[in-house]
Amino acid sequence: MAKCPRIAVVGSANVDLTTFSDRFPKAGETIFGDRFDLGFGGKGANQAVAARLCGAEVFMVARVGDDLFGPATIKNFEKLGIDASQVKVVRGVSSGVAPIFVESSGQNRIIVVKGANDTLRPADVDAAAAVLKSADCIVLQFEIPLETVYYTIRFARENGIRCILNPAPAQEIDVREIADLDYFVPNESEAEAIGGVPVRNVEDAKRCAEKLLGGGIRRVLITLGEKGALLAGSEGMQHLPAYFMKSVDSTGAGDAFIGSFATFLGEGAPEREAAMRANLYAGLSTTGVGTQKSFYDRERFEGEWAAITKG
């Protein structure tokens, strides 16, 4: 039986307010949307939920606001079996929220208001040190202050814990601060923003990965949506094709990839297989509406994986 990995996510928790519409209003215009969905989101929380649904033991370090959404977010973690003892309510601050707009193609546009996520500080990482030290893997994103991200990367390195960074949403960073990472996992636009090389196809992604590796990052895994993913390290690069899906909402697919990848890797799957499984897990998440609620549990996922690998 595979090892049950223990994964800590130091990151964001939002509430997603998703509007589905064929088109979006111009300035000064009011139009009718087709549908609305309210759900728990945030890149950190989504990655934690994906890891949990894939079977990992998951520990979340986050901050929420003292509004309706804060306590509900904590309850959602607890309901899913995620340890939320280090998810605290911050007085006088709103929870993170994300108005999301989804077109009929499934493509999304997101505005994140960070709210309480922006109050997660290095001291909060210290406060969670005991449990973080017991993790096999720490997962980070960019919806919390960068100083906290950098601090946590150093913490992971000093304690010999695998560390995965999803640089989303893209921001200007000091690449030297992230050189100690085990995995840097951007999508095309994040890779482009940080690597400074345009990424429109697999060949571009290879050039961008080369630049990122040259900057001192050890392993780069660029997610390319329907083009799959590119895995790059000092030994070379491998392109992993995607699995075809009829996508209705791609929101959170990157988070599904990262949470599942951390779990499969932590269970001991070879890196290439872990990334291919994560490709499928992310693809499946685009066939449902919303973020966390579109994620498959392990049993359903294994059914799909078996059908694809044996078929």
Residues forming contacts to ligand RIB in the complex (CB under 6 A) are: 14, 16, 41-43, 46, 98, 110, 112, 143, 251-252, 254-255, 291
Question: Omega into 71 within 30° of 0, i.e. cis?
Answer: no
Residue 161 or 291: the one with the smaller Cβ distance to ligand RIB is 291
Cβ-contact 182, 220 below 8 angstroms: no
What is the nearest approach in angstroms of ligand RIB to the Cβ of residue 3? 28
Tell me how far apart the alpha carbons of residues 263 and 257 are, in angstroms, rounded to a whole number. 10
Tell me how far apart the alpha carbons of residues 203 and 1 are, in angstroms, rounded to a whole number. 38
Residue 76 or 251: the one with the smaller Cβ distance to ligand RIB is 251
HSE-CB at 310 with a 13 A cutoff on CA atoms is 6
What is the nearest approach in angstroms of ligand RIB to the Cβ of residue 71? 18
Give catalytic status of residue 136 as yes or no: no
How many helices (H) does the chain have, and how many strands (E)? 10, 13
Which residue stretches of the chain are H helix? 43-53, 69-79, 122-127, 129-133, 146-158, 188-195, 202-214, 253-266, 271-285, 298-310
What is the nearest approach in angstroms of ligand RIB to the Cβ of residue 22? 21
Residue 188 or 267: the one with the smaller Cβ distance to ligand RIB is 188
What is the nearest approach in angstroms of ligand RIB to the Cβ of residue 189? 12
| Residue in the shown chain whose Cβ atom is closest to ligand RIB | 41
Cβ-contact 11, 43 below 8 angstroms: yes
Residue 136 or 188: the one with the smaller Cβ distance to ligand RIB is 188
Residue 96 or 206: the one with the smaller Cβ distance to ligand RIB is 96
For residue 17, list its beta bridge partners: 38, 99
Write the Ramachandran bin of 51: left for phi over 0, alpha for psi from -120 to 50, otherwise beta.
Answer: alpha
Q: Is 170 exposed, middle or buried (0-12, 13-18, 19+ CB in 10 A)?
A: middle
22, 83, 255, 297: the catalytic one is: 255
In the DSSP assignment, the letter for residue 29 is -
DSSP of 130-196: HHHHT-SEEEE-SSS-HHHHHHHHHHHHHTT-EEEE---S-----GGGGTT-SEE--BHHHHHHHH-
Residue 42 or 267: the one with the smaller Cβ distance to ligand RIB is 42
What is the nearest approach in angstroms of ligand RIB to the Cβ of residue 56? 19
What is the nearest approach in angstroms of ligand RIB to the Cβ of residue 64? 13
Calculate Rg over the CA atoms of the chain. Answer: 18
> Which residues are known to be catalytic?
255
